[in-house]
Structures are given as C-alpha cells and as structure tokens.
C-alpha cells in the first residue's frame, strides 16, 4: 500500500498505490471497488469471485472464504449494469399503475396489491419498481423506460381498454401480467382477475332475496373489465320485467356520490343499489343521507371490494370480497413463469358475499 509517485508524459503527477490508480473524487463518489479489486485481495481470479457470488458452485471452501473476506474488506457491491449487460436480466420488475396518481392514494385496493406483490417478489430477490403513468406523456416515458432493459417484466394494474401502453409492451416482447382482464387481449396476455361477474351476481341475487324490487347499479369505468363484468352480472340476475337503472362512476368516492344523485333524480323509488366499489358506495350513502333516505331501511346499498372503507363506513358495508392477497401472489407467479419462458395463462379467483349492515 505504499504510495508511489509516477510522472506522466504530460508532466502532471498522479499518485499511484499498488499499481492501481488512486480514484479521483471529482464526481464526488468514492470510486467503487470492482471485482478485480476483490480478486486481487482474495488472491484468486475474477472468474472465481464471480462464481463465489453466483451461488458458489465450483468454488473450493478456502477460496469462498477468501472471497467473502475480501468483499467485506473492500466493501464491494456488484455493478448491476455490468451484470445485466451480460445476463440480459435486471432482476427487477415494474409495477405500472396506469392511473392518475391520486387514485393510487385514494383506492385501498392498490395499496394491498402493491404490498402483496412487493412481498412475493422479495422472496425471489427481485426488486419492484413502482411506476405511475397517469398522463399520456407519462405512459410514453414509462414505455420507453421498461423497454430499455430496466426491467424483466411488468405488472400492469388498471389499464384501460385501448391504452397504447399494453400494446407497446407486448410489441416489444416484454413479459406482462395484468390485474383484471385485458379487454381485447385476453388471448395473448396473462392476467389475474377476481370473478367479477359472479361476484356481481351474488350481490344482486342477495338484494333480490331480501325483497328489493327496484335495484339500480353504479358501475366502474366501462373500459375496464371490472366495469363491464360487474355490470354483466347485474344484468344476468335481473329478469325480463325488471327495471334497469345504470349509471357509471370512476371508482372514486365523489363519483359514487354524483352517480347516486343522478339515480335518485331518475327514479326516486329505488330501494336498492349495487355499487361496484366500496369507495363509491360510501359516496352513494352520503348522497342518500342528504336526500333524507335511510340506509338500509329505505335504500339497501351493496358494495364491492371489502376494503377498509367497508368497515369504517356507517353502516358497515355489505359487500363482495375478492382475494387481493392471492391475486398479487398469482400475478407474480405468472410473471416469473413468463420471464422463464412459459406461455401466457389466465387465473380467475372466486369472490364471496360478506353481509354487514348496509343491505
């Protein structure tokens, strides 16, 4: 480690230690040790260090130990870019939220899904990158980013039909799994979804069984599978002579409130409403209350999601539970399989009626 002065052709002087140039600190980063540094300290070749790092196969006990000591001593951390360049893998996947950012924070489903995916990926030592693509411009940036090799695959949440993002990812050959049916791409893209249609059937059947006759529905956006499938379930149950009252919201509380007001104006005699998310149901209840209606005595309200809001709402919501934990687990499983070369698949998970006070 004796510093040695070496004069360069230009006349400048650099200080050299052990035949290696002293790192310059101009970029304010301390120069990072490389695998060669580790190899030198450990007294083995770079290849052995690499093997020690990647599972330790074909490395003798003493060599392994020497490498580990050298890593500790030098503070070595692998350079992911170099590794990825040769492995063609980045060991990270994108969680793409194709929604305005506010939705992320308002909708409790995303929270649960995000946590579930992070955890499932962590088991495989894969990092999750959260990307929010609310605007068209964001979606372009995200498209460029994920196709530049930054990630091995993408979990796409809440994409709307016709969005160019899905098409682009697919076109680039990036493994993708969507949450919810990818409308119009069901055959080429893997997805995991709750059985929305059946859940809706369960709820509307339940409302009828309680004697309600004029059952309205507040749907989600009709360019998402949750929107269309739950609406389909509603129609499945209603008969020939039944009045159909349909208004759409966008899953936010405010939209539920507005939708309920419109329904009330359309048909003041409504005695039940199936609302396609708990958050919108909370909004609907607020609107009903303002209109002087009691819940559930005058109007029964059924929600969807069985999220936190269902419990904190007054009265607590009768709702449909979908297994978000399992959904995230299956999404990760499918994506990793896809990355490993397996063909696409769809997973549909059952939903369940939860009866509480609102209906």
CA distance 7 to 122: 50
Instruction: Build a one-symbol-per-residue string for 153-182: x at contacts with its own copies by CB under 8 A, - elsewhere.
Output: -------------------xxxx-------
Minimum Å distance from CB 223 to DNA?
35
Radius of gyration over alpha carbons of the chain, in Å? 28
The residue among 83 and 160 lying less far from its own copies, judged by its C-beta, is 83
The residue among 74 and 248 lying less far from its own copies, judged by its C-beta, is 74
- Give the interface segment with its own copies, choosing from 140-148, 192-200, 289-297, 314-322 (CB under 8 A): 140-148
Instruction: Build a one-symbol-per-residue string for 107-126: x at contacts with its own copies by CB under 8 A, - elsewhere.
Output: -x--x--xx--x---x----
HSE toward the beta carbon, residue 165, CA cutoff 13 A = 32
Taking CB under 7 A as the criterion, the residue among 6, 13, 17, 60 binding DNA is 60
Minimum Å distance from CB 21 to its own copies?
15
CB of 156 within 8 A of CB of 338? no
With CB under 5 to 8 Å by kind, the binding choice for 136 among DNA, its own copies, none is none
Checking DSSP bridges between strand 3-7 and strand 13-17, what pairing results, if any?
Answer: antiparallel
The residue among 29 and 187 lying less far from its own copies, judged by its C-beta, is 29
With CB under 5 to 8 Å by kind, the binding choice for 60 among DNA, its own copies, none is DNA
**Joined tokens for residue 203:** 């709820």
Helix axes 35-42, 46-53, angle to 10 degrees: 100
CA distance 5 to 16: 6
Burial code (b: 16+ CB inside 10 Å, e: under 16) for 83-116 equals bbeeeeebebbbbbbbbeeebbeebbbbebbbeb
Q: Restricting to residues 87-116, which ones interact with DNA according to CB under 7 A?
A: 87-88
Distance of alpha carbon 265 from the chain centroid: 38
With CB under 5 to 8 Å by kind, the binding choice for 338 among DNA, its own copies, none is its own copies
Which whole-number Å values give the CA distances from 203 to 13, 186, 268, 352, in the listed order? 80, 26, 21, 9
Q: Restricting to residues 46-85, which ones interact with its own copies according to CB under 8 A?
A: 75, 77-82, 84-85
CB of 116 within 8 A of CB of 325? yes
With CB under 5 to 8 Å by kind, the binding choice for 245 among DNA, its own copies, none is none
187 forms part of the interface with its own copies (CB under 8 A): no
With CB under 5 to 8 Å by kind, the binding choice for 50 among DNA, its own copies, none is DNA
Taking CB under 7 A as the criterion, the residue among 41, 70, 71, 76 binding DNA is 76
Q: Can you tell me whether residue 268 is helix, strand or coil?
A: coil
CA distance 357 to 229: 25
The residue among 17 and 135 lying less far from its own copies, judged by its C-beta, is 135
* Residues forming the site for its own copies (CB under 8 A): 26-30, 32, 75, 77-82, 84-85, 88, 90, 92, 101-102, 104-105, 108, 111, 114-115, 118, 122, 127, 129-130, 132, 141, 144-145, 147-150, 172-175, 338-339, 341
């Amino acid at each position: 480690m004796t510093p040695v002065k070496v004069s360069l052709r230009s006349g400048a002087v650099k200080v050299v230690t052990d035949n290696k140039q002293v790192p310059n600190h101009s970029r304010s980063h301390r120069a990072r040790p490389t695998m060669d540094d580790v190899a030198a300290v450990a007294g083995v070749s770079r290849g052995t260090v690499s093997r020690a790092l990647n599972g330790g196969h074909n490395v003798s006990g003493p060599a392994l130990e020497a490498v580990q000591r050298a890593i500790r001593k030098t503070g070595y951390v692998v350079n992911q870019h170099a590794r990825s360049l040769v492995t063609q893998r980045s060991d990270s996947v994108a969680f793409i939220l194709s929604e305005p950012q506010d939705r992320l924070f308002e909708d409790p489903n995303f929270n649960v899904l995000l946590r579930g995916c992070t955890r499932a990926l962590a088991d495989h030592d894969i990092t999750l990158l959260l990307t929010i693509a609310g605007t068209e411009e964001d979606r372009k940036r995200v498209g460029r980013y994920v196709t530049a090799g930054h990630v091995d695959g993408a979990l796409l949440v809440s994409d709307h039909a016709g969005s160019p993002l899905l098409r682009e990812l697919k076109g680039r050959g990036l493994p993708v799994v969507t949450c919810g049916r990818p409308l119009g791409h069901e055959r080429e893209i893997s997805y995991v979804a709750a059985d929305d249609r059946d859940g809706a059937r369960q709820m509307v059947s339940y409302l009828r069984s309680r004697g309600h006759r004029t059952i309205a529905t507040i749907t989600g956006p009709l360019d998402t599978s949750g929107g269309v499938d739950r609406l389909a379930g509603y129609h499945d149950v209603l008969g020939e002579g039944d009045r159909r009252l349909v208004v759409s919201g966008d899953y936010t509380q405010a939209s539920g409130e507005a939708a309920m007001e419109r329904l009330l104006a359309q048909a003041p005699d409504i005695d039940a409403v199936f609302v396609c998310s708990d958050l919108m149901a909370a909004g609907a209840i607020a609107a009903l209350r303002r209109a002087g209606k009691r819940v559930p005595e005058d109007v029964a309200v059924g929600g969807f999601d069985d999220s936190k809001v269902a419990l904190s709402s007054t009265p607590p919501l009768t709702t449909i539970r979908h297994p978000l934990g399992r959904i995230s687990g299956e999404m990760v499983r499918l994506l990793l399989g896809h990355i490993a070369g397996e063909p696409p698949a769809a997973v549909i998970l059952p939903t369940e009626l939860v009866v509480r006070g609102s209906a």
